[in-house]
Amino acid sequence: MKDRLQQIQPGSFALGPLVESARRSCDVGRIEEGIPQGLRPRSVVQFKRPKAEALGYLEALGRKFGGRLFVFLAVLGVVWQLCGCAPPKSSRIAIGAKNFTEQVVLGELLAQEIEAVTGEPVERRFYLAGSYLCQQALVSGRIDGYVEYTGTALTAILKQPLPPVGQRDEATVFRQVSELYASRYRVKVGWGLGFEDTFAMVVRGEDARRLGLRTISDAVRVAEPTSQNRDVGHPDPPPPWRLGVGYEFQSRPDGLRGLEATYGLKFDGAPRTMDLGLLYRALSSGQVDMVAGNSTDGPIRALGFVVLEDDRHYFPPYEAVPLVRRHPGIGVAMDRLAGKVSAEEVRGMNYAVDSEHRDVGDVVREFRKGKGL
């Protein structure tokens, strides 16, 4: 008790462990969003009274009432008031999404289906910057679900090594991911939505036709100064590829480093790292020659780009699956969406949002209507 009371300083006081205890009982998510500012692990409250400035307001009160017990009670009262300032935790289901078009489309799809099942509005927390933030939001209760990809979950979130080639089938990866999420986080992995969105090495269509590119191995071949290149009409092979990647791909265990090792790909300097939404602009404008995109990205079809086949099967499966905390409404919605979305359909929705600039809510409602949902 004495140690805690000694934390009180003139003009301000630090609540230390008391605030931390109270903070855990409050809505930490909203505190971190800045509502209110006073709710922090170490809170400082300023008083505008002359005597408080000289002695510390609470200490002055303690002396006035002849004991430090009052000080302790006053501290508890302030803690109670601080927690009372925080808005109550929302009872709404919250669905998250990462910060690219397909994720927003899938988040909206899950949100609309939950609303249809429960009859209650769903809070949308979209544009979270990457897998890590979505994971943290999910396990901390900031969101109740989002759509993830099994290969990403396995390597980037669960930190598991890539399975050996030949053991990277969808069923094996799905089972491993489901078991780990359940045991570590009490999170349920729903059945796949019906499509896989793998990493895709994408080049301009005219380059693919001119150089005879169909696979990633073809891209390695044409960049090598061999007689084989001259035999197929390339006396002067092109310089090494200039690569564009998103922020995650460069550092992920299933990303750039392993790809280079598997194929022996050589690039012209360090890759250009940029936001996912800028990759295809850079490819179209000639700033880069190859990008690490996603197989269902709308601009691939819209701009006539070509996805190179992963002929050595480096990438694991990336089946789109909902990750959810326990809630009956979400469970029913997941079951209704299982297997309903094909790669071509999600590519079409991505295209409608990216290239036709349609509202994502309208695009998803149209899709659901066509599926009888």
**Among 73-77, 109-113, 319-323, which stretch is predicted with the lowest mean pLDDT?**
73-77
- pLDDT higher than 50, residue 12: no
CATH code linked to domain 199-308: 3.40.190.120
**pLDDT at residue 62, as a whole number:** 46
Q: 58 or 141: which carries more pLDDT confidence?
A: 141
Look up residue 295 and give its amino acid.
S
3-class SS shares of the chain: helix, strand, coil, % to 5: 50, 15, 35
- Average pLDDT along the chain: 79
- pLDDT higher than 80, residue 6: no
- pLDDT higher than 60, residue 88: no
Pure H helices in 160-306: 170-185, 205-211, 216-222, 227-231, 247-251, 256-263, 279-284, 298-302
**pLDDT at residue 90, as a whole number:** 59
* 113 Cβ contact partners less than 8 Å away, ≥ 6 residues apart: 333, 336, 337, 368, 373
Burial string for 90-110 (b: 16+ CB within 10 Å, else e) reads eeebbbbbbbbbbbbbbbbbb
**pLDDT at residue 91, as a whole number:** 76
**Among 7-16, 84-93, 132-141, which stretch is predicted with the lowest mean pLDDT?**
7-16
The pLDDT of 84-99, averaged and rounded, is 72
**pLDDT at residue 277, as a whole number:** 77
For residue range 262-315, what is the model confidence (pLDDT) as tens digits? 999 888 889 999 987 799 999 999 999 999 999 998 888 889 999 999 999 999
- pLDDT higher than 50, residue 1: no
For residue range 338-364, what is the model confidence (pLDDT) as tens digits? 999 999 999 999 999 988 999 999 999
Using CA atoms, how far apart are residues 20 and 83, in angstroms rounded to an integer?
11
**Among 19-23, 146-150, 288-292, 369-373, which stretch is predicted with the lowest mean pLDDT?**
19-23
**pLDDT at residue 237, as a whole number:** 53
For residue range 123-169, what is the model confidence (pLDDT) as tens digits? 999 999 889 999 999 999 999 999 999 999 999 999 999 888 777 88
For residue range 194-247, what is the model confidence (pLDDT) as tens digits? 999 999 999 999 999 999 999 999 999 987 765 344 444 554 555 689 999 988
Cross-strand bridge partners of residue 125: 96
- Return residue ranges of the chain for CATH 3.40.190.120: 199-308
Using CA atoms, how far apart are residues 160 and 162, in angstroms rounded to an integer?
7
**pLDDT at residue 248, as a whole number:** 82
- Express as a percent the part of the chain with pLDDT over 90: 55
Using CA atoms, how far apart are residues 330 and 93, in angstroms rounded to an integer?
9
**pLDDT at residue 252, as a whole number:** 85
- pLDDT higher than 90, residue 104: yes
- Return residue ranges of the chain for CATH 3.40.190.10: 94-196+316-370
Pull the structure tokens for residue 129. 């910057």
Q: Which of 69, 72, 68, 92 is nearest to 80 (CA)?
A: 72
The pLDDT of 169-193, averaged and rounded, is 95
**pLDDT at residue 302, as a whole number:** 85
- pLDDT higher than 80, residue 25: no
Give 94-196+316-370's CATH code, choosing from 3.40.190.10, 2.40.30.10, 3.40.50.720, 3.40.50.300: 3.40.190.10
**pLDDT at residue 44, as a whole number:** 35
Q: Which of 186, 293, 153 is nearest to 162 (CA)?
A: 153
Q: Are strands 243-245 and 306-308 parallel, antiparallel or unpaired?
A: unpaired
Element (H, E) at 324: strand 320-324
Coil, helix or strand at residue 35? coil
